[in-house]
Amino acid sequence: MAEQEEQPITQPDPPGSGQSRTGRAVSIARLLHRECTRLLQLYKEKETFLSDHTPDGGRIVSLSSESEASSAEEQVQCLHSALRQCLGLLHCVILKEEEEWGKLEGDYETMRKNVRTRLEHLLHTTKDLVETEEMILEVTPDHQCNEEVDGAGGLFGLKMWTYRVLLELIHWSDHAAQTLHVLHREREGTEEI
Amino acid sequence: MPRLAVSPSSKPNCSLIGLICIFLTLSATHTHARIAVTIPEQVSLLASMNTQQLSISWLGGEATTFDLIILRTEFNETVFYGTVSVTVNQESGRHEWNWTSAEPLECTSLSVRIRSRDGQMTSDWSDTQILQGSDVPSNKDTQIYPQDRIVPVGSNTTFCCIVAEREVFGSIQYRSTVMSATRLSRRTYAATVVNQGPSRASGTNVLCFTDRSSSLSGAVVFVGYPPQLSDFVCETHDLTSTVCQWNNGRDTSLYGKRRTRYLVNNRDCTNNSLLQQQTECSVPQWEGNWTLVAVNSLGQYSLTDSAELSHRVCPVAPVELSSVVHAWNATVQWQWKYSSYSSLALVCQVEFTAGGYKTKRTFTGVGLRSAVLSDLHPVEDYSVQVRCGAQQNFWKWGTWSKPISFKTKTDVPDAPDVWMWRNRDGTGQVIWKPLTQRQSHGQITGYSVTFWNPEENRQHTVILSQYTIAVPFNLTQMAYLSGDNKVIASVTAKNADGMSPPASVSLRLPDVELPAASRAVYTDEGFPLSWQSNANATCSFVVEWHETSCTYDCPVDWIKVPAGNTNVSIESANFQPGVRYSFSLYSCPSDSPELLQRWQGYTEELVPSGSVRLSSSQQGSDILLTWRSMPMVDSRGFLLGYNVYISNGSQLTLLANLSDLETSYTVKGFSMGSYKFTVKAYTSAGEETGTTVIIAMESYSDWLILEILTSLGILSLLLVIATFICYKKRKWVKKAFYPDIPEPKLPSDWSSAQGPLDVKPSPHSMVHIVEKPEWDSSKEMLVVIPEEDEDDDGQGIGDEPVDTDEPTSLRYYNQVVDERPIRPRFPDSSTSSASSLDSAHTDVTYTGIQTSGSSLVFQLDPQGSSEGHQPQAAHSVSCRGGGYQPQMQPRAPSDDMGLASAEPLLEAQAACSGGYKPQSSWHFDSPMEAEERGSLAPSLGSPTSIASTQFLLPDGEEHGEEKRQSSSAATWFTNLLSSTKP
């Protein structure tokens, strides 16, 4: 897979700029998806035993109300909640990895930092899109990182859990791009971003 | 068993007592043995999973020696069996013994039994004590042990994989290497990794695969080194606290939680940064003695240091730097972070950078806070930074301060560096080097050049722009300024702050005779030039240089050498390889420059770029090659000589190496043909491509012919002269070579001569016909024809001596005569001839018998003739005609022998055919006689047709033609001589 071009992390564009807010959110989600994919690739390069392994087990992050959400706004609100959990998981991965392996400065660590920042940016973007007076959305990580990472235990278990978290990030960033595109289509009436 | 000695007869009571004693002794011994070999009880197992150590304790009574057996419970395989000596732990009252397992204790269950031993006596085994492994059915999942183990580099580790229930073991991989596994129990497999290398930050993965593809179990092992530090030293920055530093040495390969932790004097100095390995630790006070302990999971390392505070002062970096700037100096000021420095004697370094060059200056003082930087340059950008150390008990320099920058003020320019260039015609240029930024001290606004005569104190000033670096002069036009052609040129530069000091140079006509230039050899440091100097000389020197090929208004460069120096190395970025430079040393450049010495040299000699202009010319069989010497620009090095080659196809063959720089060469000894020559000039770098000339050698036989013709011409001229002389002296010649023929003298016995007799017959004599019977049948007859006196010297007579004073001999002509008589030359003779022909006899008629003598009749003896002319006889061997063979002129062996031999052969052939061949030597003695005889002459030299009296041989016959030609030439000469006859 070709290496993705790294794009700068920017704050939301001011009102009146060329791209709509929903369109910008879709772009951020798509960029996040690409970066999460690249992050997993870098992690597999470090832990080569994962290259041909597909873990079993269900999702770490799941939404009970996802199927019940009817409107696009509600789906984005659910997505926002899932992304918060993903951010919490990523925070926990960073914390545990730095604790176990030390603060390293390789490509994986740099991309991991980028994904965290991009995910925070997307959370702020979705919050701005669907937050209402009745529905106050938070952007802080929704994970305490004080529980055992996986049943297997040990540092090998941490690696397996990290792998699952990265897969989860890919899944939810892709889901975010699709959900936000639906919202964009409804609000803007066009497929174009 | 000791044997008992019994003596019943002598002392029965004593024997009984002895037996009792023995029984008691044995009984006591047996009782003691039973006490010592009691069965161990309350066996207890305590496992340390991390160290894989099993601690076994039991109650063993008084026994100190025990047999232990450890088995893998499932397969009942013995892991350990041995006898150990164990003492009782005084605290617990139990026997304790530790055993370290090769495999992790979780791998499978172990059974332990113990028995006491006393020598050969052992107790019964204790009850089996089992250490439960992780492969018990209650743990259904796949597991691998050990987990997260930290081991030193080079160690061996055994990993075991407990396969999940209803799964089949696949393999154990260490990194990506499949290990050889052994089975320990129903679900447990083990593999040992030997000599492990250091792992990365996230450890080394060990994986266990089963037949279920989605099942992946593993462990992480960290392989590293224990800490190994060096260079532990403590110092103070603030004169109160302590900062200790060390060198971590090799990387331990252990990071994060497993990183090395540090303690200084038992205080944890480990920082919270996980980014880098720690190398520094701070202690709030000065303790004088410090111990550093570095610890990680694999070991620890300690270092100590001790010192007084005053010996370990390392000042912090000065802060808040500022400056006060002037044109030539500046003052730098700074502040200290700690007030305690105000009483500290400091030594400080001020480093300023200008134009890429760094300079350090040192200042001292108590609580030093400023420094004056002198000898700076005007209008120069400086960057300054400061660092300090303790002046007393100096320990080390502190940290450099943050640099500050300033620019010095402007000032008047420096004097320009002036020199001149003089042409031969009295013109020239005053040249100066543009002032650099460091010399101009501000923006240069212009230059002024003043020409003045020191004696007459007259001057002329020229104002020039700031971009001008030369001004022309003409000394011949400055005659009004100077009578002796000496002019001083002074150049000053000007900027906003004023005029520079003047720089002068003395102008004179150049020296007529230049000193010979010696050769300068370029080195890595330039052209090293040296010269002899007068010890009393106070003048400085100038060494100028320019391209040697330049002669007029040359771009010249120069360097000034202070007085007293006798050598300098000349280096310039403008030097080009292959260009000859001339260097000239002048003394007293500003007063009266005098050319002292000259050099020439190349930075690098190259092969010549041009070629010689080659020409060639033929000189007989030699070839002269000439060429012009190569221009200096093209030679690109000192010419060492020329190589002359001859080209053979594509190959050049060296003919000559002319190292004396000759410009011609003669190649000798060539025959006709085309030749190609190449001449190449060469320097120390090699030879140039060369010039080729092709020359076609013309045949020099033309020259030979010309020489022959010339010789013939000269010979002809000599002949003409000789003829002229002879003509003038013809009387003398006639007398000397052609005297009057004396009257023959006939002795009385003249007829008895044996050899052929030459008779000079008189033209009017008749020859009697003598009958010769042998020739009768053939009707052939020999006719003797009278012959006029001639100069034939008797060649036809062969080698026999001939008296040349006698009249010429008669000549014989072999002639076949038919019935008709030969036409008589005179009526008288014809009558006799006719009568003779009518008879059947063969007659020989002699005509021309001298009137003064009687007619002579000879009977010819052919035999005698053949004897006297043997060569002719040889040629006539093949003849069948048997006729007469004409006499041949005998010749001495010579170069033309071949030609001479062919002629008789032809004559012989003619004789074979029976034909007639006239004698070639027949001719008249004089034109007068020829004229006189008229038509008679041809008949004498040619056979005559019987019917028509015509000559049988045509006049155009080649041989006869040649004879006639030679006869004509002889006739002409004879005529010449005959003309002298009275």
Q: Are A159 and B202 within 8 A, CB to CB?
A: yes
* Range in B276-280, B301-305, B401-405 the model is least confident about: B276-280
B89 pLDDT tier (thresholds 50, 70, 90) = confident
Q: For chain A, list residues whose CB is within 8 angstroms of any CB belonging to chain B.
A: 46-49, 53-56, 97-105, 152-156, 159-160
A33 pLDDT tier (thresholds 50, 70, 90) = very high
pLDDT over threshold 50, residue B922 = no
B176 in a structural domain: yes
Q: Minimal Cα distance from B276: which residue of A?
A: A103
B105, B209: one domain: no
CA distance B135 to B137: 6
pLDDT over threshold 70, residue B855 = no
Across residues B488-511, what is the average pLDDT? 89
B932 pLDDT tier (thresholds 50, 70, 90) = very low
Beta strand spans in B579-731 (E): 580-587, 594-602, 613-619, 622-628, 641-648, 651-658, 664-667, 673-683, 686-687, 691-697
B423, B558: one domain: yes
A4 in a structural domain: no
Q: Are B256 and A100 within 8 A, CB to CB?
A: yes
Using the structure block, give the residue that is written with the tokens 């010249």.
Answer: B556
Radius of gyration of chain B (CA): 71
Across residues B881-886, what is the average pLDDT? 40
pLDDT over threshold 80, residue B237 = yes
Q: Are A154 and B275 within 8 A, CB to CB?
A: no
Residue B466 contacts residue B445 (beta carbons within 8 Å): yes
Output the CA angle B613-B616-B621, nearest 5 degrees: 160
Q: Using CB atoms, pick whichever of A98, A104, A155 lies closest to residue B203.
A: A155
A164 in a structural domain: yes
Across residues B846-857, what is the average pLDDT? 38
pLDDT digit string, tens, across residues B796-849: 333 333 333 333 344 444 444 444 444 444 444 333 333 333 433 444 444 443
pLDDT over threshold 50, residue B703 = yes
How high is the pLDDT of residue B301? 95
Across residues B542-566, what is the average pLDDT? 91
Mean pLDDT is highest, among B149-158, B513-522, B753-762, B912-921, for B149-158
B369, B485: one domain: no
Q: What is the CATH number of the domain that holds A129?
A: 1.20.1250
Percentage above 70 pLDDT, chain B: 70
Instruction: Show which of B388, B408, B428 is a domain's final residue.
Output: B408
CA distance B699 to B672: 6
Q: Are A154 and B256 within 8 A, CB to CB?
A: no
How high is the pLDDT of residue B276? 60
Number of domain units in chain B: 6
Using the structure block, give the residue that is written with the tokens 């190349």.
Answer: B602
Q: Are B217 and A101 within 8 A, CB to CB?
A: no
Q: Are A49 and B147 within 8 A, CB to CB?
A: no
Can you read off the two tokens belonging to residue B678? 């190449």
* Most distant CA pair in chain A, distance: 52
Across residues B273-298, what is the average pLDDT? 86
pLDDT digit string, tens, across residues A1-16: 434 444 555 554 444 4
B260, B299: one domain: yes
Q: Are A101 and B205 within 8 A, CB to CB?
A: no
Residue A99 contacts residue A152 (beta carbons within 8 Å): no
pLDDT over threshold 50, residue B884 = no
Distances (CA, A) of B950 to A136, B782, B814, B916, B955: 165, 20, 17, 13, 11
**Secondary structure of B125-173 in HEC code, one letter for each residue:** CCCCEEECCCCCCCCCCCEEECCCEEEECCCCEEEEEECCCCCCEEEEE
Q: Are B148 and A154 within 8 A, CB to CB?
A: yes
A182 pLDDT tier (thresholds 50, 70, 90) = very high
A12 in a structural domain: no
B82 in a structural domain: yes
pLDDT over threshold 50, residue B876 = no
B280 in a structural domain: yes
How high is the pLDDT of residue B766? 46
Q: Are B219 and A154 within 8 A, CB to CB?
A: yes
A54 in a structural domain: no
Can you read off the two tokens belonging to residue B422? 């003089």
CA distance B37 to B922: 173
B445, B496: one domain: yes
H helix or E strand, kind and range, residue B568: strand B567-570
How high is the pLDDT of residue B633? 86
Instruction: Show which of B224, B239, B263 is a domain's final residue.
Output: B224
Per CB-CB distance under 8 Å, the chain A contacts of B273 are: 103
B972 in a structural domain: no
pLDDT over threshold 50, residue A39 = yes
pLDDT over threshold 90, residue B337 = yes
Number of domain units in chain A: 1
- Tell me which of B766 and B456 has the higher pLDDT: B456
Neighbours of B120 (CB within 10 A): 5
How high is the pLDDT of residue B102? 94
Q: What is the CATH number of the domain that holds B217?
A: 2.60.40.10
Across residues A165-192, what is the average pLDDT? 91
Q: Are A49 and B203 within 8 A, CB to CB?
A: no
- Tell me which of B557 and B507 has the higher pLDDT: B557
Residue B74 contacts residue B111 (beta carbons within 8 Å): no
Alpha-carbon distance A160 to nearest alpha carbon in chain B (angstroms):
9
Per CB-CB distance under 8 Å, the chain B contacts of A152 are: 217
B777 in a structural domain: no
Residue A179's domain comprises: 21-46+71-190
Instruction: Show which of B700, B718, B737 is a domain's final residue.
Output: B700
B856 in a structural domain: no
How high is the pLDDT of residue B220? 95
pLDDT over threshold 60, residue B759 = no
B945 in a structural domain: no
Per CB-CB distance under 8 Å, the chain B contacts of A159 are: 202, 205, 220
CA distance A53 to B719: 129
Alpha-carbon distance B604 to nearest alpha carbon in chain A (angstroms):
53
In 3D space, the residue among B521, B306, B540, B274 whose CA is nearest the CA of residue B418 turns out to be B540
A84 in a structural domain: yes
Q: Are B220 and A153 within 8 A, CB to CB?
A: no
Alpha-carbon distance A109 to nearest alpha carbon in chain B (angstroms):
12
B429, B563: one domain: yes
How high is the pLDDT of residue B348? 97
Per CB-CB distance under 8 Å, the chain A contacts of B219 are: 154, 156
pLDDT over threshold 80, residue A93 = yes
Distances (CA, A) of B108 to B49, B99, B128, B139, B173: 12, 16, 16, 12, 20
How high is the pLDDT of residue B966? 45
- Tell me which of B212 and B165 has the higher pLDDT: B165
Mean pLDDT is highest, among B338-347, B469-478, B561-570, for B338-347
* Range in B51-60, B591-600, B759-768 the model is least confident about: B759-768
B153, B115: one domain: no
In 3D space, the residue among B509, B514, B526, B511 whose CA is nearest the CA of residue B597 turns out to be B514
CA distance B563 to B567: 11
Mutate to test the interface with A, among B200, B274, B278 (most CBs of A within 10 A): B274
Q: Using CB atoms, pick whichever of A54, A103, A156 lies closest to residue B219.
A: A156
Per CB-CB distance under 8 Å, the chain B contacts of A52 are: none
Secondary structure of residue B504 in the 3-state scheme:
strand
B547, B454: one domain: yes
A15 in a structural domain: no
B476 pLDDT tier (thresholds 50, 70, 90) = confident
B18 in a structural domain: no
Alpha-carbon distance A110 to nearest alpha carbon in chain B (angstroms):
14
pLDDT digit string, tens, across residues B12-49: 454 555 555 454 444 444 444 445 588 999 999 999 99
How high is the pLDDT of residue B975? 53
B571, B470: one domain: yes
B398 pLDDT tier (thresholds 50, 70, 90) = very high
Q: Are B220 and A154 within 8 A, CB to CB?
A: yes
B346, B446: one domain: no
Q: Minimal Cα distance from B258: which residue of A?
A: A100
CA distance A175 to B234: 58
- For the full predicted model, state whether its pTM sits above 0.80: no
Residue B58's domain comprises: 41-131
Q: Are B218 and A49 within 8 A, CB to CB?
A: yes
Can you read off the two tokens belonging to residue B884? 């007469």
**CA B674 remoteness from chain centre:** 34
How high is the pLDDT of residue B419? 93
How high is the pLDDT of residue A3? 42
Provide the mean pLDDT of chain B. Answer: 76
Mean pLDDT is highest, among A37-51, B645-659, B889-903, B967-981, for A37-51
- Tell me which of B865 and A163 has the higher pLDDT: A163
B183, B276: one domain: no
B905 pLDDT tier (thresholds 50, 70, 90) = very low
B620, B564: one domain: no
